[in-house]
Amino acid sequence: MEITSEHRSFGGVQGFYTHVSAACGGPMRLSVYVPPAAKAGPVPAVYYLAGLTCTEETFPAKAGAQRVAAELGLALVCPDTSPRAARYPGDDASWDFGQGAGFYLDATEDPWSATYRMATYTTKELIAAVEDAFPIAKDRRGIFGHSMGGHGALVSALRSPGLYQSVSALAPICAPSEVPWGEKAFTGYLGADRTAWKAWDASALVREAGASAKAALGAKVLVDQGLADKFLERELHPHRLEEACRAAGQPLELRRHEGYDHGYYFVASFVEEHLRHHARILVR
């Protein structure tokens, strides 16, 4: 793990790092906040997956989460949103595909399949690297994210039962196989066969898992959604996740908030409640 920079924050350390990823074909950037409680021993970690166009710097700079994480004794880990070492034609032609838009899946289409393997990276390599380099507990993990990252958090938990003990999301893309953002990304990364897309669609995965979804998502999933979000009707579809969880018997607390949009003012408004949700399950 190579240090880019480290900064004292609320008695802990907010750091930025790089390390080499085999799944993503080169160096990957990440941020880690280590709370002061880590001086006494390993602490649980909550992994945050950011949204389209974001980087590993977006959440630590804009969410204001370090104060609460320091109080609760939680480490915060935020990876970058796509591989950046390998370059492909058209990977920066649009903001919702390619660079900054890895969608936290493992691509199967050329050329993306060579390095756009964000699912393997975030659920295996990242965890191993972070738990090896920092005083982080190996049996207490949570995951949450925003927008594309909310999709990533839900799908990561559903595809890896037992890996995370707590799950939440802020304005997630809940049914990506049914909306333009997902259709564009899935076609490019996974191909035209829509049946393959369901393996990366949280609502579809919950419907398929049924009652066994609880093994992956835990006692309750917390989701917040702003009702002034301009992407709500076109891209996010939280009602699809709500319907799937109801049918599966999966506890879901879906909170809808008047006046809130899609940006980091929204994220910053509710991040404390999300961290407390994770701490109730992870901190002991």
Report the candidate in 144, 255, 157 with the shortest Cα–Cα distance to residue 205. Answer: 157
- Active site annotation includes 229: yes
CA distance 109 to 129: 27
Given 21, 82, 147, 166, the catalytic residue: 147
262 has catalytic annotation: yes
Phi/psi at 282 (5° precision): -95, -30
Closest CA relative to residue 152, chosen from 24, 264, 271, 49? 49
CA dist 206 → 46, 51, 92, 158, 202 (Å): 22, 22, 33, 8, 6
3-class SS at 239?
helix
Active-site entry in 237, 262, 277, 278: 262
Asked if residue 257 lies in contact with residue 224, where contact means CB atoms within 8 angstroms, the answer is yes
Structure tokens at 88: 């492909």
Between CA 178 and CA 160 the distance in angstroms is 23
Which residues sit opposite 16 in a β-bridge? 5, 31
Token digits of residue 271: 């991040």
- Report the alpha-carbon angle 166-154-128, nearest 5: 65
**151's tokens:** 């999709």
Which residues are catalytically annotated? Answer: 147, 229, 262
